[in-house]
């Protein structure tokens, strides 16, 4: 049985939520392996919209096991609020269908406060974070002062963890003119939330290993996109975790042999939320039109997304970095009715042509897109479920993208609805 990793091949917001939900019908287990509640996955099922941030998308399907792996940073209060919201929409969430890794680090209110304070101090140079404490929580994890989920069940250990954590954070807060955190108040908050979180806690790596040995199909659900990866993205305008396919193994406690197929979710144009370089960005009516038709607003932040032409250079780079087996091309229908389309095939930087986006911040900023112009189509592709439903020029556009990114289209999404998918190759069939 194949195990599939789903990752974003651009700057996030590619439509991973719908694709993961669609694939989860074929899976037994769905696991998140990085990020936190800065992620935003929107599912539309029978006209009902679900907005998920931390809970794996597979949880909306009955009889599926959802897991939050050790690579995720967890805000326990945000998680409980999300669980309550989803339950209010008629979805059952219990310790039987949701597990949280005991070694996952916690996001605390002090992390969020630090995140916001830093962004405010940076002013125009801000990174564009969601302000939810993700980065500071990962910093504490790496610095070995984090409080982890399993610590909630050991009050005596909490005293030691809190003391070490506040030795660092209170020094920072004094330097920024902020009030210090009271250790006993923080402990009281954690003791209060512990009985609500601990029933969901489990040994995720062990349960995943058992699932693999029993022939279960595992779907690894990524958040954000490759160009936001802490190592391979447009640094420093990136997230604080590795979002690439290799992290699926590390962030869930599995070996690399657990990954059989890497599916790169890829939007038929390009969007980005927040600051940072964006070579194919359109600051004109075309860009605004894409945003309006595509309802391009961040699921997590509500911020309008920056929109631009499809960047084949970035996606090809993502294909290589992730070892992408095939892509799921989303939002093709948003391009309906456009007479002319452009695809970025290279960059001109300081008079030199590049076939990749360099790591240099200056070169990224100076990158000018080299475009290939293609014919658009007047017909509607919305709701198409087979190649026969697609205009010939739309198929030509898809085939050219495949050539440029050096990866085949495995799935094609033609609307937000769950079943509006053209299946070319089932990732779980490998």
> Active site includes 115?
no
**Catalytic one among 21, 37, 41, 420?**
41
> Active site includes 41?
yes
- The answer to whether 413 and 15 are in contact (CB under 8 A) is yes
Q: Euclidean distance between the first and final Cα of the chain, in Å?
A: 8
CA nearest neighbour of 331 among 311, 300, 316, 310: 310
Q: What is the DSSP letter of 134?
A: H
What are the C-alpha distances in Å from 412 to residues 10, 187, 266? 16, 49, 10
Phi-psi region of 417 (alpha: psi -120 to 50; beta: other; left: phi over 0): beta
Which residues have a Cβ under 8 Å from the Cβ of 151 and sit 6 or more positions away? 106, 157, 158, 161
Q: Where are the alpha helices (DSSP H) in 276-407?
A: 285-293, 312-322, 361-366, 392-405
With tokens 């992620």, the residue in question is 39
CA 137 to chain CA centroid, Å, is 17
Phi-psi region of 57 (alpha: psi -120 to 50; beta: other; left: phi over 0): alpha
**Catalytic one among 13, 115, 333, 420?**
13
The phi and psi torsions of 330 (rounded to 5 degrees) equal -115, 160
- The answer to whether 20 and 58 are in contact (CB under 8 A) is yes
Integer Cα distance of 192 and 290 in angstroms = 46
CA nearest neighbour of 162 among 108, 112, 101, 100: 108
Q: What is the DSSP letter of 297?
A: B
Q: Which helix (H) or strand (E) holds 430?
A: none
Indicate which residues carry an active-site annotation: 13, 41
């Amino acid at each position: 049985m194949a195990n599939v990793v789903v990752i974003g091949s651009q700057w996030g917001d590619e439509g991973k939520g719908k694709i993961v939900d669609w694939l989860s019908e074929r899976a037994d287990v769905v696991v998140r392996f990085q990020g936190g509640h800065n992620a935003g996955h929107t599912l539309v099922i029978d006209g009902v919209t679900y907005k998920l941030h931390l809970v794996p998308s597979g949880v909306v399907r009955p009889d599926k096991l959802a897991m939050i792996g050790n690579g995720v940073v967890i805000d326990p209060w945000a998680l409980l609020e999300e669980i309550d919201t989803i339950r209010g929409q008629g979805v059952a969430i219990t310790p039987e269908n949701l597990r949280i890794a005991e070694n996952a680090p916690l996001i605390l209110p002090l992390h969020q406060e630090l995140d916001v304070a830093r962004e405010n101090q940076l002013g125009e140079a801000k990174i564009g974070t969601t302000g939810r404490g993700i980065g500071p929580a990962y910093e504490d994890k790496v610095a070995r002062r984090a409080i982890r989920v399993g610590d909630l069940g050991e009050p005596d250990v909490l005293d030691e963890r809190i003391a070490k954590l506040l030795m660092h954070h209170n020094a920072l807060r004094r330097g920024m003119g902020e009030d210090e955190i009271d250790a006993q108040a923080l402990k009281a908050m954690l003791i209060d939330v512990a009985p609500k979180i601990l029933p969901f806690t489990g040994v995720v790596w062990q349960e995943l290993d058992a699932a693999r040995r029993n022939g279960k199909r595992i779907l690894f659900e990524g958040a954000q996109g490759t160009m936001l990866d802490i190592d391979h993205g447009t640094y420093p305008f990136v997230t604080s975790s590795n979002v690439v396919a290799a992290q699926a193994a590390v962030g869930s406690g599995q070996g690399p042999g657990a990954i059989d197929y890497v599916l790169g979710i890829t939007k038929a144009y390009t969007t980005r939320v927040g600051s940072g370089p964006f070579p194919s960005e359109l600051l004109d009516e075309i860009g605004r039109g894409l945003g309006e038709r595509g309802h391009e607003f961040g699921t997590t932040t509500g911020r309008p997304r920056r929109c631009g032409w499809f960047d084949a250079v970035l996606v090809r780079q993502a294909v290589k970095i992730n070892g992408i087996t095939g892509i799921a091309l989303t939002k093709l229908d948003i391009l309906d009715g456009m007479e002319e389309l452009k695809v970025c095939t290279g960059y001109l930087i300081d008079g030199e042509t590049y076939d990749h986006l360099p790591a240099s911040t200056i070169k990224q900023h100076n990158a000018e897109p080299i475009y290939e112009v293609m014919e658009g189509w007047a017909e509607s592709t919305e709701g198409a479920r087979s190649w026969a439903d697609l205009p010939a020029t739309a198929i030509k556009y898809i085939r050219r993208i495949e050539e440029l990114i050096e990866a085949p289209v495995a799935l094609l999404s033609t609307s937000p609805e769950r079943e509006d998918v053209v299946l070319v190759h089932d990732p779980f069939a490998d």
